[in-house]
Chains A and B, each alone.
Chain A
Amino acid sequence: MVSVASTNFTGEANTMGLLIDYEYCTGCYACIVACQRELELDPKTYGIKVHGYGPVEVGDDKWEWSYLPMPTSRCDLCAERTAEGRLPSCVHHCPANVMYYGTLEELSKKLAEKSTQVLYSL
């Protein structure tokens, strides 16, 4: 397995990020496999991990049931792919289209447009 150098968790100023609209993440785990295959990781070794909460009843038959993909230190935002003009594999393949790749500046604006989103600076 290839060891992937981390470009994040360096504490340095950063310009690029991933925005997740977790209102619509269905927990299908496509991003996990896309990432494992791109980074040549073993099963249960993650460049992105999906965390979940629920289903929990929060009112009369009203439910909270959410998933949130979280990049790990292995995530390099698919440096090779993005360098040549492709999207990170998880973003490219997300069946629910809930992942966005871009500059923190533009993603910050998108973040403000809607609730239930998170922005990762990577």
Chain B
Amino acid sequence: METRSFSDNSYEQFLNEDKLMGSRCRQCSALSVPPRPICVKCYASDMEWVEMNGKGKLAAFTSIAVGPPFMVQEGYSRERPYVSGVVELEEGARVVARIEGVDGTRPESIRVGTPLRVEFLHRKDGDSIATFLAFRPE
């Protein structure tokens, strides 16, 4: 049985393992992605881990031309913007993620409602690996 604490740290560890995980309240079944230690529907602390199937659709997005230093380091710029978005998962929860495989230079072509599938972007972070949650059109 999975015993990791229902924390952001555990959520990130699962992403490193190519798993998008959330918490489900054993009392009222409310689902949270990322996980929560306390259920905000019924206030219980009795949680279990559930894995998402990785399918969803685009609920909102932006194409960012002026990004933070870590995105600039990845090679993004005014000429090469990247897309971030909000994804509504099939299970009903929403997550924020990078959106790959769409044209950031033509944001007018990107449509809210586009079906997406999860992708895990592994990046070297000093000696360790950091994983960024991403989605791509199916």
Verify that A and B bind, or say they do not: no
Contact surface of B with A, Cβ cutoff 8 Å: none
